[in-house]
């Protein structure tokens, strides 16, 4: 029986291909919690997914592309969650707190592939990685939410304050992930609590009743 082109169903071959790709990604998520990214081989991934190495290479050019796909898929799910938060949240402190909470949680859960992506970005600063795209998504989403909430365009200093607050947030998390300088580590409750306080405090100056550029 032929597929109805108007039914919305994928052709059998395409559907099976996507199912295989999903199994490979799921296998990757499992394996990064069992062994280091360097030790994880393409053969490991294919075996765990129940397919051949050839099936892997038909969907991913190499291991680096696969790692980026792992991060992209994880961040796509995170974007869908945050879109709902941006649409429903009405309090800037609660929104800022949720952004910090989710950002830390993702970096902890997917630490190996985040580290690999960050190191590749250091080598090639112009590279448009999934992590960079997600960072821009969060920043632009918050700026748009703020304009909508305040009912006006943002002043230059307000845009700068929000942008810098996000840069501090991302930079602090990346430093904790790569350098682990301490005393608080990325998965310590105190790290999240204090970073949330700092982020909310910086952001809140934009939402004061009379928003005036802070004196230097």
CATH number of the domain bearing residue 36: 1.10.10.60
3 belongs to a structural domain: no
Count of the separate structural domains present in the chain: 2
- Segment 109-115 long-range contacts (CB within 8 Å, at least 24 positions apart): 109/74, 110/32, 110/70, 110/71, 110/74, 111/177, 111/186, 112/32, 112/36, 112/37, 113/32, 113/37, 113/67, 113/70, 113/71, 113/74, 114/71, 114/177, 115/37, 115/177, 115/178
Angle at alpha carbon of residue 203, lines to 199 and 209, rounded to 5°: 145
Which residues form the domain of 196? 62-207
Question: Domain check: are 41 and 138 in the same one?
Answer: no
- Each of the 216 residues of the chain gets a pLDDT tens digit; together they read 444 444 344 355 677 778 899 999 999 989 988 888 888 999 999 999 999 999 999 999 999 889 889 888 888 888 999 999 999 999 999 999 999 999 999 999 888 888 888 888 788 777 767 888 899 999 999 999 999 999 999 999 999 999 999 999 999 999 999 887 779 999 999 999 999 999 999 999 999 865 555 555
Is the model's pTM score more than 0.85?
A: no
């Amino acid at each position: 029986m032929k597929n109805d082109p108007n039914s919305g169903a994928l052709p059998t071959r395409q559907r099976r291909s996507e199912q295989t790709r999903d199994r490979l990604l799921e296998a990757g998520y499992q394996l990064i919690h069992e062994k280091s990214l360097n030790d994880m081989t393409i053969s490991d991934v294919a075996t765990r997914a129940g397919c051949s190495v050839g099936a892997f290479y038909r969907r991913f050019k190499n291991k680096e592309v696969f790692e980026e796909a792992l991060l992209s898929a994880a961040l796509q799910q995170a974007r869908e969650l945050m879109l709902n938060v941006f649409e429903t949240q009405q309090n800037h402190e609660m929104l800022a707190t949720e952004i910090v909470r989710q950002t830390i949680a993702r970096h902890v859960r997917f630490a190996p592939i985040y580290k690999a992506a960050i190191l590749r970005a250091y080598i090639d600063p112009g590279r448009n990685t999934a992590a960079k795209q997600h960072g821009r998504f969060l920043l632009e989403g918050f700026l748009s939410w703020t304009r909508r909430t305040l009912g006006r365009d943002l002043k230059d200093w307000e845009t700068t304050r929000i942008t810098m607050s996000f840069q501090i947030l991302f930079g602090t998390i990346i430093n904790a992930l790569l350098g682990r300088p301490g005393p608080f580590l990325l998965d310590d409750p105190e790290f999240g609590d204090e970073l949330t306080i700092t982020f909310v405090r910086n952001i809140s100056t934009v939402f004061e009743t009379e928003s005036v550029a802070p004196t230097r």
